[in-house]
């Protein structure tokens, strides 16, 4: 068997996917908020593959996009030690098919570019806004010519909740969910309502302003991705929700650089 392992390394977790013939056969997550060694990463990857009936020799290539520099060395070492594979790293200088039109191209996160690669592949010749709900909620903007114009960053839902808890005496963590009513009747509901509708209002306003600034003759495709995208599925914000967008973009980048 022949598989490709793709790893999206974020601030809270690694989101991984194993591809076979252009299709993801399974996905997994690994918490990265604590310091992680190459052995911890390697043993976890071996374990999760074994549980899904895939052996180490079955993995022929590994692709990584990372926004956590302190994990890059450990992850690279794990690929070499446990898989004997030099991983492909999505970074400045590799082929992406995307023209970066920002003032500081080297500062653009690999996850943003990976999402844009997949988005422009699915919707060619369209302006696109990729809204990625992670530790940070990001809005990546691309025009119809595959030019990455820039992004907007917003504190993610979990970061906002943790900030409330850490900065106040009586507020606490709650389940992040869509509340039944806008006005909460207890502290639990008040926090949920503020988190959800505050984020929803920000999303609407940011997308509206992006549309004004694009000044193009067609509305952009709005793609939702990331862990909390489905939370807003009923709000008619997105053209489509693609939870695996970054993994597919990373896979496409690997093929482009093969």
Q: Catalytic amino acids? A: 111
CB 9 within 8 A of CB 68: yes
> What burial letters (b/e) apply to 5-42, b meaning 16+ CB within 10 Å?
bbbbbbebbbbbbbbeeeebebebebebeeebebeebb
DSSP 214-254: H--SSPPEEEEEETTGGGGGGGT--SEE-TTHHHHHHHHHH
What tokens appear for 126 in the block?
A: 């369209």
What tokens appear for 74 in the block?
A: 């450990």
Q: How far is CA 117 from the centre of its chain?
A: 12
- Which ranges of the chain would DSSP assign to H, the alpha helix? 38-51, 69-78, 110-122, 157-167, 187-214, 245-256
CB 78 within 8 A of CB 117: no
User: What is the maximum alpha-carbon separation in the chain?
Assistant: 57
Q: How far is CA 197 from the centre of its chain?
A: 22
């Amino acid at each position: 068997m022949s598989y490709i392992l793709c790893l999206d390394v974020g601030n809270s977790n690694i989101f991984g996917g194993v591809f076979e013939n252009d299709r993801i056969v399974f996905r997994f997550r690994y918490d990265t908020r604590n310091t992680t060694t190459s052995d911890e990463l390697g043993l976890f990857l071996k374990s999760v593959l074994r549980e899904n009936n895939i052996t180490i020799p079955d993995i022929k290539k590994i692709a990584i996009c990372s926004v956590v520099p302190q994990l890059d060395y450990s992850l690279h070492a794990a690929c070499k030690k446990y898989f004997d594979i030099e991983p492909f790293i999505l970074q400045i200088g590799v082929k992406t098919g995307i023209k970066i039109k920002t003032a500081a191209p080297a500062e653009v996160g690999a996850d943003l570019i990976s999402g844009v690669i997949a988005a422009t592949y699915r919707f060619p010749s369209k302006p696109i806004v990729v809204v990625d709900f992670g530790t940070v909620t990001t809005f990546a903007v691309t025009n119809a010519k595959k030019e990455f114009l820039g992004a907007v960053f917003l504190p993610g839902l979990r970061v906002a909740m943790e900030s409330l808890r850490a900065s106040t005496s009586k507020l606490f963590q709650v389940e992040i969910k869509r509340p039944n009513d806008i006005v909460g009747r207890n502290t639990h509901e008040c926090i949920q309502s503020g988190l959800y509708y505050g984020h929803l209002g920000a999303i609407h306003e940011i997308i509206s302003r992006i549309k004004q600034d694009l000044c193009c003759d067609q509305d952009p495709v709005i793609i939702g991705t990331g862990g909390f995208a489905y939370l807003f599925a009923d709000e008619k914000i997105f053209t489509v929700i693609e939870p695996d967008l970054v993994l597919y973009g990373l896979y496409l980048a690997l093929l482009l650089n093969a």
